[in-house]
Chains A and B, each alone.
Chain A
Amino acid sequence: ETGVTQTPRHLVMGMTNKKSLKCEQHLGHNAMYWYKQSAKKPLELMFVYNFKEQTENNSVPSRFSPECPNSSHLFLHLHTLQPEDSALYLCASSLDWTAGTGELFFGEGSRLTVL
């Protein structure tokens, strides 16, 4: 139990579907992250929110749309995805974006398959 919960754990969707991934952290942190993990590739940072404000967008295609309504919740809205978007999407949190501690608390991820 890492204190970061992601749902759903597995998701299969067609290229025309719209779905959302949800992340919730119970650690009292103020920064939340989305990472993409594909086989044989490094974890790729997608988005960062600090105190609900987006601080990083790592040139992510607009078919991925993040939402951070408060410091405890983070969503990733998905629409018109491509098969190459199939991956494990990891949510993480840290106490504060500006305090570079090198420590992130990850959830177990949402395994996405795009058909």
Chain B
Amino acid sequence: GQSLEQPSEVTAVEGAIVQINCTYQTSGFYGLSWYQQHDGGAPTFLSYNALDGLEETGRFSSFLSRSDSYGYLLLQELQMKDSASYFCAVLAGGGNKLTFGTGTQLKVEL
């Protein structure tokens, strides 16, 4: 089977940097995705890492270490609108089959 672990809640202040970690156990691993979901909204795609290393997209960066079965999402210059749930998801087992973690609720405070 597959399992993912990520913290359930993270709180940070506006303007700060926050890192959301994700560890996974799976077979047939291809890559790690991150999604953002605001309350009542659709999950939206943030990033996908297939190779080791850091990928940056604006204020958000995502990191993958395949040897450690570990990744993280880094959010810089936090804004109130970043308050949302963030999900990591592994792509494994063929096709575009994603298995999601339980999500991390990020609260950004003034």
Contacts and interface: CB of A to CB of B under 8 A. Distances in A.
B96 A2 contact: no
B102 A100 contact: no
A44 to B, nearest CB: 8
Interface residues of A, number: 28
A100 B45 contact: no
B48 interface: yes
B27 to A, nearest CB: 15
Say which size band chain B's interface belongs to.
Answer: 20 to 34
B31 A104 contact: no
Contact of B100 (A42, A50, A99, A105): A42
A66 interface: no
B41 A104 contact: no
Nearest to B32: A102
Contact of B31 (A2, A4, A96, A100): A100
Which of B30, B45, B94 gathers most chain A CB within 10 Å?
A: B45
B95 A102 contact: no
A2 B42 contact: yes
A105 B98 CA distance: 12
A105 B102 contact: no
B73 interface: no
Given A100-B31, A102-B33, A108 B42 contact: yes
B48 A103 contact: yes
Given A102-B32, A104-B43, A105-B45, 5 more contacts: A4-B42, A45-B97, A50-B95, A100-B30, A102-B45
